[in-house]
Amino acid sequence: MHVEDETVTEKTLAFEALSREAVEALSAHFGEPDWLRQRRLDAWRLFLDTPWPSNQKDEEWRKIDTDLLVKTVQSLHLVSPDSETVTATTDLPEKLQGILREADRRSALLVRREGGLVFADVNDDLRAQGVIVADLLTAVREHGDVLEPHLAQIVRADEDKFKALHTALLSGGFVVFVPKNVAVEKPIQLVHWLDEAGTLVFPHVLLIAEANSAVTVLDEYLSNDLPDVAFVTGAIEIVAGDNAQVNYLNVQNWGKNVYHLASQRARMGRNTMVNWSSGQLGGSLTRFETEVWLEGDGGMAYLNGIYFPTGEQYMANHTLQRHIATHCSSDLLYKGALLGNAHTVYRGLIKVEKGAQQTDAYQANRNLVLSPQAHADSIPMLEIEANDVRCTHGATISQLDEEELFYLMARGIPRKEATNLIVDGFFAPVIDRIPLRTVRDRLKTVIHERMENA
Amino acid sequence: MALDERQQIELINKEYAEKYGFHDPEKYVFKARKGLSREVVEEISWMKGEPDWMREFRLRALEIFWKKPMPTWGADLSGIDFDDIYYYIKPAEKQARSWDDVPEEIKRTFDRLGIPEAEQKFLAGVGAQYESEVVYHNIKKELERQGVIFLDTDTALKEYPDLFKEYFGTVVPPSDNKFAALNSAVWSGGSFIYVPPGVRVEMPLQAYFRINAQNMGQFERTLIIADEGSYVHYVEGCTAPIYTTDSLHSAVVEIIVKKGARVRYTTIQNWSTNVYNLVTKRAVAYEDATMEWVDGNIGSKVTMKYPAIYMMGKGAHGEVLSIAFAGRGQHQDAGAKAVHAAPYTTSNITSKSISKDGGRAGYRGLVQIYPGAHHSKSNVVCDALILDPESRSDTYPYIDIREDDVSVGHEATVSKVGEEQLFYLMSRGLSEADALNMIVSGFIEPIVKELPMEYAVEMNRLIQLEMEGSVG
């Protein structure tokens, strides 16, 4: 056997990345309870039985290079399931240092690197309140009863092949559990860091907010530019009980060469409020499905989205506002600006099911195309099966307005600065809806950087 | 060969029908077999005495039809049995010239449509298609004098073979979609219009056509060429009596609008509610040309129809006005498509839909802006009214932009009839039914007012009929 071959064997953990052996080895490695092992194996069975999505046949995948996705997934190896714990924050990557300095603004910080937890700092009062903030696969062993009803049950393996693969090869993640009647005052911060190229990563976040609870979670996905492709297939599951108030903020700022398919869903109870903010900035190819299911009467969901690709980036956002119960409202605003050869796809659906009377749903997607080579697709959709509703959606794709530029320049503002002002103004309505100042500032900084380099 | 009893009886009946012409209450000279095969297509072409290129075209299209899968999006088409359809029926009646020659049955049908005979005669150039072939065609002398050609498509192929060949199949090729391929293979009838440069046809040209035999599909093919600077308005309206089994209507309409010309194409579709109405309508508009589709969908079981405008020349303009009404058991998957392939092109799409009694009405649209189509503008507005909790409304507007210097907008609203609007009208003495009627009429008014007068009247009457019994 060649030496080269041995290296490969070692890297692939002695089995092929996409195999039943890999599923079983992972489960054994984490010492998982039977129920999770069974979920993985069932998902593996579904993975084998489900065809890959095709942009020729599947409407939802029509605007993405599915051949590239499939080829990439099949060519990479699994991320190693462990990482060495870091004790001093200075040992963490440069890109995280700014975040780490914000310690007084949060109640917990967890950092994962590749497959494993590397840093955890959880305030004692959270523990006292019965809040769990932990590494997912550690929590599976310690709090199995809390996780079992929800883990891989909200985003399900039987929905498509990538979701099946995610469940089968789940490589870790975070769990946040807030018990009944508990309000967590300061945000909980979760960071996914990646620096190994050529890997398949399957991160998962499970957020359970029980009845009458309140919590704010900031979930970030970060890396440096990678020399080769890393493929992230992630899932976010949110369970928000009756009267719960959940702010969930998701910032994706991967470096180059990261592909990220994300399936994210919140299921909501009676009079529940979910405010979901999403910033998509980095990565080479990202596709985020974000769904809110309003299952209890009187629920309210806000969805705030920002995307700003440049260069050769591809970013897709698929959203669903699913109204199942009565007297619910949902309000979605996704805004994106495009530079370079970027391609964005927004595909959003308001679905009002039979009997979901008194629904008030709104959906707006605005695109600002700043480069002649950039390409924006927008598909805002409505499917309404109840009559006593008010559903409105709107989509626009436009470029910088020369008249607005002229107005500012006539007042002595140079063209570049005037352009920046207009772009700031374009994003302001959605940035204002984001509940954390740190995130608002961070997004503004990235927007400014993008405009400077344009 | 062992034949069971039923097959034997069928065979005997068939022989009787062929030998003696009875057991055949429908008056046909020729009735194609049910189902589709190369032989059927060759027979259609032979019956019509077509040139070789058209036979080849049909056969090529048939191969494409077989190869293409059924669409998996849109409406449920699983009820279509392609083997249970007659693909061509030629009526016994010959081309009629005067009103007296028009068969009584057809006149009766016109009466039931509520259009008086006098008005029928008055309307210029009525081409009435009965059983897959035009039997009544009266082109006003005025049109002939202007050099306008208005014929049924089969005759046009015979009389103007070169003009026909130049444009036929250039806007909607058979490979476009499965049903365009089907139409290309078995097409029959439809209208052919050529308007010479600079000619304005002042009165709308119209053709009524109908489905009249069980399990008989209609595959008409319309080709309109508006030469530079000309204008024509074509009106197509159709109604059909109710049958017990499903019918298929799969038409293709191709329109070429040359530089500076303007074409308006108005359709009121009121097929009976067992008809699958799957139609490909497309226009290409060149420099400074204007194409307008006014599209009303009231009837049919399933309609899938998305009138398209390809703006190929600088400054071209496209307009689509669409109304869909979906009642019990109906699915109206209507929409529009605007493709901006040249700079300074503009398009406007307005869609209104009403669903009631469990009906499902939808808008499915595409606005596409190609690289180089700078300074293009497109605006789409969709409004939907849902009248009861069982009904459904869908909106699927696709927007695909490959150019930065453009402006595209889409807006849609779905709502119910406002309690306050109803209260306002009822407090002024209107009954609830009348108030509802008035609100619905007002809702579709922006489109109805674009229809020719007699159609506007008919449209309002149709909506009123459909609205009957919707209160209480």
Domain boundary among B284, B305, B326: B305
Asked if A385's CB is within 8 angstroms of B392's CB, the reply is yes
Asked if A393's CB is within 8 angstroms of B415's CB, the reply is no
Strongest mean pLDDT among A333-347, B13-27, B271-285, B442-456: A333-347
- Taking alpha carbons only, the member of B348, B407, B350, B396 closest to residue B373 is B407
**pLDDT in the model for residue B275:** 86
Nearest to A384 among B386, B390, B405 (CB): B386
Place of tokens 């596709």: A287
**pLDDT in the model for residue B6:** 60
Task: Categorise residue B171: left if φ over 0, alpha if ψ from -120 to 50, beta otherwise.
Answer: alpha
User: Averaged over A380-395, what is the pLDDT?
Assistant: 90
| Whether residue B47 is found in the same domain as residue B169 | yes
Domain membership flag for residue A229: yes
User: Averaged over B262-268, what is the pLDDT?
Assistant: 92
In this structure, the strands spanning B231-239 and B89-91 are unpaired
User: Averaged over A404-424, what is the pLDDT?
Assistant: 94
d(CA B184, CA B397): 28
CA distances from residue A6 to A3, A10, A11, A130 in whole angstroms, order as listed: 5, 6, 9, 47
- Mean pLDDT score across all residues of chain A: 91
Domain membership flag for residue A285: yes
Least confident of A104-118, A275-289, B152-166: A104-118
**Which two three-digit tokens encode residue B320?**
């689509």
- Taking alpha carbons only, the member of B83, B117, B85 closest to residue B100 is B117
Total domains present in chain B: 2
What is the share, in percent, of chain B residues with pLDDT greater than 70? 76
Domain membership flag for residue B397: no
Domain membership flag for residue B402: no
**pLDDT in the model for residue A345:** 95
B96 band by pLDDT with thresholds 50, 70 and 90 = very low
Within 10 Å of residue B150's Cβ, how many Cβ atoms? Answer: 25
In this structure, the strands spanning A116-122 and A108-113 are antiparallel
**pLDDT in the model for residue B16:** 40
Altogether, the residues listed in chain B come to a count of 472
DSSP code of residue B388: S
Least confident of A311-320, B388-397, B402-411: B402-411
Least confident of A6-15, B160-169, B367-376: A6-15
Residue B136 or residue A265, greater confidence: A265
The backbone torsions φ and ψ at residue B175, rounded to the nearest 5 degrees and listed phi first, read -75, 0
- A212 Cβ partners below 8 Å, 6+ apart? A180, A181, A241, A242, A243, A244
Domain membership flag for residue B192: yes
**pLDDT in the model for residue B225:** 97
Q: What is Dmax (Cα atoms) for chain A?
A: 74
Asked if A354's CB is within 8 angstroms of B414's CB, the reply is no
Residues of B in contact with A376 (CB under 8 A): 399, 401
Residues from A in contact with B at Cβ < 8 Å: 57, 59, 354-355, 357, 367, 369-399
d(CA A363, CA B347): 23
- Taking alpha carbons only, the member of A332, A339, A336 closest to residue A279 is A336
Strongest mean pLDDT among A276-290, B1-15, B211-225: A276-290
pLDDT digits (tens, 9 = 90+) for A83-133: 777 777 777 888 888 877 777 788 999 999 877 888 898 999 999 999 999
In this structure, the strands spanning A172-178 and A132-135 are antiparallel
**Which strand (E) or helix (H) includes residue A124?**
helix A124-128
In this structure, the strands spanning A300-307 and A329-338 are parallel
Residues of B in contact with A372 (CB under 8 A): 371, 403-405
**A:B CB pairs within 8 Å:** 113
Nearest to B389 among A59, A386, A397 (CB): A386
Instruction: Check if the beta carbon of residue B125 is closer than 8 Å to that of residue B193.
Output: no
Nearest to A396 among B384, B398, B408 (CB): B408
Asked if A389's CB is within 8 angstroms of B386's CB, the reply is yes
Asked if B410's CB is within 8 angstroms of A378's CB, the reply is yes
Nearest to A384 among B406, B408, B414 (CB): B414
Within 10 Å of residue A47's Cβ, how many Cβ atoms? Answer: 23
User: Averaged over B271-296, what is the pLDDT?
Assistant: 92
**Is a pLDDT exceeding 50 seen at residue B133?**
no
A277 band by pLDDT with thresholds 50, 70 and 90 = very high
Print the domain residue range for B433.
419-467
B158 band by pLDDT with thresholds 50, 70 and 90 = very high
**pLDDT in the model for residue B222:** 93
B29 band by pLDDT with thresholds 50, 70 and 90 = low
Residue A238 or residue B27, greater confidence: A238
Print the domain residue range for A273.
49-142+169-296
Residues from B in contact with A at Cβ < 8 Å: 72-73, 371, 384, 386-416
Total domains present in chain A: 1
Residues of A in contact with B406 (CB under 8 A): 369, 397-399
Domain boundary among B260, B284, B305: B305
Domain membership flag for residue B205: yes
Place of tokens 């700079």: B343
Instruction: Check if the beta carbon of residue B120 is closer than 8 Å to that of residue B157.
Output: no
Question: Which residues are bridge partners to A389 per DSSP?
Answer: A359
Domain membership flag for residue B325: no
d(CA B122, CA B139): 11
Residue B30 or residue B304, greater confidence: B304
Distance from CA of B349 to the nearest CA of A (A): 14
Asked if A386's CB is within 8 angstroms of B410's CB, the reply is no
**Is a pLDDT exceeding 80 seen at residue B209?**
no
Domain membership flag for residue B84: yes
Which amino acid appears at position B136 of this protein? Y
Residues of A in contact with B347 (CB under 8 A): none
**pLDDT in the model for residue B108:** 58
Domain membership flag for residue A347: no
pLDDT digits (tens, 9 = 90+) for A422-449: 999 999 999 999 999 989 999 999 999 9
**pLDDT in the model for residue A156:** 95
User: Averaged over B135-154, what is the pLDDT?
Assistant: 75
Domain boundary among B305, B335, B370: B305
| Whether residue B76 is found in the same domain as residue B220 | yes
For A114, what's the count of Cα atoms within 13 Å in the CB-facing half-sphere?
15
pLDDT digits (tens, 9 = 90+) for B168-177: 999 999 999 9
pLDDT digits (tens, 9 = 90+) for B383-392: 998 988 889 9
Residues of A in contact with B412 (CB under 8 A): 380, 382, 392-394
Distance from CA of A445 to the nearest CA of B (A): 24
Residue B33 or residue A290, greater confidence: A290
Nearest to B402 among A375, A379, A399 (CB): A375
List own/partner pairs for A422-431 with CB under 8 A and 24 or more apart.
Answer: A423/A337, A423/A368, A423/A370, A423/A447, A423/A451, A426/A335, A426/A337, A426/A366, A426/A368, A427/A306, A427/A335, A427/A337, A429/A333, A429/A335, A430/A304, A430/A305, A430/A306, A430/A333, A430/A334, A430/A335, A431/A306
**pLDDT in the model for residue B138:** 53
Domain membership flag for residue B174: yes
Distance from CA of B131 to the nearest CA of A (A): 37
A1 band by pLDDT with thresholds 50, 70 and 90 = very low
Which amino acid appears at position B381 of this protein? V
Within 10 Å of residue B4's Cβ, how many Cβ atoms? Answer: 8
What is the share, in percent, of chain A residues with pLDDT greater than 70? 97
User: Averaged over B421-445, what is the pLDDT?
Assistant: 89
Domain membership flag for residue B327: no
Distance from CA of B389 to the nearest CA of A (A): 5
Instruction: Check if the beta carbon of residue B224 is closer than 8 Å to that of residue B265.
Output: yes
The backbone torsions φ and ψ at residue B364, rounded to the nearest 5 degrees and listed phi first, read -130, 115
| Whether residue B84 is found in the same domain as residue B232 | yes
Least confident of A82-96, A365-379, B220-234: A82-96
B95 band by pLDDT with thresholds 50, 70 and 90 = very low
- Mean pLDDT score across all residues of chain B: 80
**pLDDT in the model for residue B114:** 56
